[in-house]
Structure formats: C-alpha cells, structure tokens
Amino acid sequence: MRACERLFGLLFFCCAVWLLGCDEHLAGTHEAEVTFTVKGHAPERTPTPSSSSHAKPQTLAEAAISPVLTRLATLHITADAEPVGDDKIKLTLDKDQVETAEDGLKWPGGIELDDLDAEFTMPLAQAGGLVEKTEVIDGKTVKFWEGARIDIAHAIGATKVPEGHKLVGQAYDSMRGRTRWIHTPSLAVLAGGVSSVSRINGGKGISIKLRPDTAAAMKEAADHTHGPVAIVRGTSVLVVQPITAATSSFDVSFGDDIYSYTRAHMTMKLLETPPVPPLERIEVKPLAPDWSVAIACIVIPIIMSIGWLVFVRRFDRAQPEPWWLVLATFALAIVSRGQVDVPMRLFVFNWTDDDATLWRGVAINPILWVSPVPIGPADEEKESEGCLSVPGERYPLRRSELAILTAVDLDQKPFEIRAEGWLARIFQHEYDHLEGVLYVDRLDHAAGKAAAKAVKKSGWGEPGLSWMPGIDDLEG
C-alpha cells in the first residue's frame, strides 16, 4: 500500500512539475502550416566523383530547405520543412511563432552599409507605445520615435515606406531603442562578405571581420558618403561609424546588462547562418490538434523520469539520497529550463598570496592568454596540483608562468589581471575546467599513468562511493 501511495505521489509530482516547466501549448496542439514561394534561380549542382552525370538537378525548394531550417534553429524555432513542387516549401511550426519565423526569414543574410537620412520623416502606421522625439544634429532638426524594441519592430513591419528610403531600428540597450531612416539602395550589400564573427568585451559585443575581396565595395561606399554609415542587419542597425576604403572590421557593442550576452551571441550566430533565398508567404493554414503527439510528449518524459529516479535511489544503496532531495533536484532542473539561454561561462577564484594580498573575484566569459610552457620536468614540491574532481591526489604539472586574464565581473565591469606564479596556475586550472579539461589530462606519461591507477584504486565513479566537499577530509 505504501509503495502505491509513493508511486501515485511521484506521478502527481512529475505532472505538476512538468506543467510548471512546460510551454504554453502542448506539442502538436497549436501548430500551423505556412507555405512560401521560393524566388530566384535553382543552384547548379556541382558534380562529384561519386555522383552520376544523370543525377536530378536540385530544385529551388530543395535548395532552400537547409538554410531555412538553419536560420529557424538559430532563432530557437522548431519547425519541419518539406518541398512542395519545384519552387515552394511548407513549414510546420507553432502558430505563435509564425510571425517571428517570417521576420527572421526576410533577412537574406550578411550585412549592408547604408547612408543615413537625417531629414526624411513620415508618420508611422503603428506607433503604439512609441514616443516621438526631436533632436538637433549638425544644425539639422531630426525627428524619430523612441520606445520598446518590440514596439519599434512592429512599427517597422506595419509601415509602408516610399521608394528611396527604408525604416530601421537602432537599440539603446536590450529593451529600448529608436527609429532611423536610411537611403536606398544601400551603399554596399555584403551578403557573403563576412569572414568571421568573434566575441569581444567579455561576450557583450562582437567583432565582424570582412573578407579581403570586399575592399572594392568598401572603397566605393566610402567614396559616396561623407559621414557616418549605418551597418545594418536586416532592419536592425548594428553600429553607426565612419568608414574608409581600408575598413576591414566593425566592432558592435550590445550594452552592459545581463541580456547583452544573449543579444551578442544571437547576432553572432545569425551572421554565421547561410544566406536564405527570397521567400514570399502565400498561405497560413492552422492544423487540427494531434493529441497522440501531445500525450506522447507527456507520458514518455514522465516514464523516463521515474526510471531515472529509481536508478538514482538504487545507485547508492549504502546511503541513498532521500526522496525529497532527489525530487527537489528534478523539480529545479525542470522549472529552470527556461533560464539557461544565457551564453555565459564563468569561474570564481579566492587565493591569498605570500604578501597577504587577497585575490578574489568572478570571471565571466573569460579570455586567457598564457606564455609558453617552460621546457623540462615539473618540480614535485613546488608544482604539484590537486583537484576535487580527483580528490585526495596531487601530481606535478608544468604550467605557463605568466597568464593574462580578461573578463567581466558581477557588476558587468570589464577587468584584466596579469598573473604570475601560483595565481597564473589557478587561472589556467579553472579555465581548463570551462574547456572540459582536468589537470590530470595534462600530466606527462608517468604521472598520468599513476593518476589513472590511483583513480581506479580509489574507486571514484563506482556505485556506492561518495564524499562531501568541506566535510570529508580526503587529504588528511
């Protein structure tokens, strides 16, 4: 009887937690089919040694599937895609994501260099939530709208702009921004001109490097403008800056708040996606709920969770974890699943050197530069390391004697530390953890062999063996 009560309680708990952590709609119950016509020309299929000369040419629709799904996946939109005839594709996705998907697919890829128009203005078709502002720049009165970025995006989508101009938005920070007018056509369209995109400013910004073959386009753009140029992705201004024929990169900052990491990461990933051909939406068709999919998406995770919970309880029979602790762990994991979309890496350090100087801090999205590792064997007395991942053991390891750490702290302020000696070793040890590397992975052959034997002898990783950091003294 007690076992039955526990099972029903577990089922109720799993359902409750699942509902807390699930999306607004069950899978398969709130979907739509969206059909697009693919514009342009079918790509030529490059023959390979293994391909037949009679292979069927790839259609427009078939060629569009891969870049479309890649773009949607980068936007965190789950969709199925299939070709319909030679020039149409059909997407199946959540109804609430149709507008976001269509907006994301309007951008063909790459970046544009656009000339700002400070004099042009016109009423917005949808200005809800926006405030009209006026400022004077170089003696000219400029009108624009300011407000939430989502309201600016809606205004851009709803406003029909006359030929020769384009309405875009420029963000102040993660929440607010303003409108800008630019001339069309663009000074330069660098659809395939981005060579690489990398993080800067501890992950709160990106650096866009251009391909060498864009030099001619940059020179032509520089010759046709005498002021700052807007670097635009779709309808979003990334940065406004002067350009010359020698400009080969753009640095873009996304602010100083916690959301700047996500915005920088998302923009970097979008710029890395392949170009998407022009698409024209021709139909949106709501689908009837598929309750078999919805039930499977509920039942299968619950069954797997119960099996895992039972396994965890039986894993350590000598000192099994209490049920409430195991359930609480699963509850926190499920409820917090929507909170893990911040691309952040960090480690903490706390050490006092021989001069009684305390080195304590949090390094968020760190970058570490190190000097070459000295040649020769490690000193067993002065260069031995330990780690809680391999408790109770210490082995000599040669490390770089100099390390320069750049990161941002909890207050979102960038900092740099030039470390030598043991502090440099600490930074290298912790940075390795972020890369999935343990110090024992870097040992020489003899020490590595000894470490492997010690781990096997101690039984780390075997069922029934556990220890508590801070309580169990494994090195005493």
79-83 CB contacts, 8 Å cutoff, 24+ apart: 83/59
Chain-centre distance for alpha carbon 295: 31
Nearest to 417 by CA among 426, 431, 428, 406: 406
* Angle ∠(263,171,223) on CA atoms, nearest 5: 105
Alpha helices in 167-281 (DSSP H): 215-223, 259-271
Alpha helices in 169-322 (DSSP H): 215-223, 259-271, 291-315
Helices first, then strands: H and E counts in the chain: 10, 21
Give residues with Cβ within 8 angstroms of 397, minimum separation 6: 378, 383, 384, 385, 439, 442, 443, 447
Residue 381 φ then ψ, to 5°: -85, -40
Q: Is 420 a catalytic residue?
A: no
Chain-centre distance for alpha carbon 175: 18
Structure tokens at 285: 């068709």
Is the bond leading into 185 cis (omega within 30 degrees of zero)? yes
Structure tokens at 278: 């022009």
CA distances from 365 to 88, 200, 258, 433, 434 (A): 42, 10, 12, 13, 10
Q: Is 136 helix (H, G, I), strand (E, B) or coil?
A: strand
Give residues with Cβ within 8 angstroms of 49, minimum separation 6: none
Nearest to 231 by CA among 86, 405, 112: 112
Active-site residue, selected from the candidate residues 112, 220, 430, 475: 430
Please give the Cα distance from 421 to 353 (Å, whole number).
Answer: 10
Q: For the chain, how are helix, strand and coil distributed in percent, rounded to 5?
A: 35, 30, 35
Please give the Cα distance from 46 to 49 (Å, whole number).
Answer: 10
CB atoms within 10 A of CB 381: 7
Please give the Cα distance from 71 to 282 (Å, whole number).
Answer: 20
Residue positions counted in the chain:
476
Alpha helices in 131-228 (DSSP H): 149-158, 215-223
Q: Is 450 helix (H, G, I), strand (E, B) or coil?
A: helix
* Active-site annotation, residues: 430
